[in-house]
Amino acid sequence: MLSFTPALAGVAVTVALAAGAVAARALTPLAGAVAAVFGVAIVVFVGFPYLALLILFVVASVLATRFRFEEKARRNVQEGAHGERGVSNVLAHILIPTGLAIGGGWPGSPLSPMVVPALFASALAFGAADTFASEFGVLAGRARSILTLRPVPAGTNGGVSPLGELYALVGAGTTAVAGLGVFAVFRTPLGGIAVFVPIVLASGFLGCQVDSVLGEVLENRGYLTKGSTNFLGMLAAVGIAAGLLAAFGGVR
């Protein structure tokens, strides 16, 4: 955990960034308040490298959401009225990273601090993969069911396209590389540094596929909401990352 003065600085930075996201209409006011609360917990418990990676994820998500927004709006597949994200979306993408931060920063926690960076980055890699696949893939104009391969309208839950899958890889991969860079700059110890990037990339991408399957099987039938589907997809990504770390000896 951060000491008092750095923690105070972290709180100020986090609140200011959340307010800026609301002002830029990237988040609704309530979503901004929720993001600020969880962001404060992240920076206080595990410090600035984790906050920096979270900020990079948010910026990339906003840019992807705003990309060719007018075209998405004409097709009625846009996010919000102006591309803003609501509370359910924020909670779906920040609950697990915050839990990992608290688990990694809490004194005496059984969660090894050596594996927290990879798990945290994998959670955000899923978020980036899912966002990129949705925001760029929908522009392909066509998709197929991930389970049956039947053609479905673009934007359908469980619908995938080659373009969307490519951008899912891009989202997961750029998060993995950015995470490695951020943690290196802040000299954050990594468990299994040689496998950090491939594990984060694979976990984020595979978690995105789990999200698509859940979307087709459960969300389309009303058993899950979009937020709960995203939450479970991220949980799957973290579980995959934990399994891969254990398999490749990354857990110290």
* Paired residues of 27 in beta bridges: 85
Torsion of CA 145, 240, 222, 74, to 10 degrees: -50
Q: Which amino acid is at 155?
A: G
Stretch 129-153: mean pLDDT: 91
How many whole angstroms from its chain centre is CA 214?
17
What's residue 233's pLDDT? 98
Q: Tens digit of pLDDT for each residue in 24-47? A: 888 999 999 999 999 999 999 999
Stretch 84-89: mean pLDDT: 89
For 33, what's the count of Cα atoms within 13 Å in the CB-facing half-sphere? 2
Q: Tens digit of pLDDT for each residue in 188-243? A: 988 677 889 999 999 999 999 999 999 999 999 999 999 999 999 999 999 999 99
Q: In this model, does residue 250 exceed pLDDT 70?
A: no
Find out whether 121 and 53 touch, Cβ atoms under 8 Å: yes
Find out whether 176 and 204 touch, Cβ atoms under 8 Å: yes
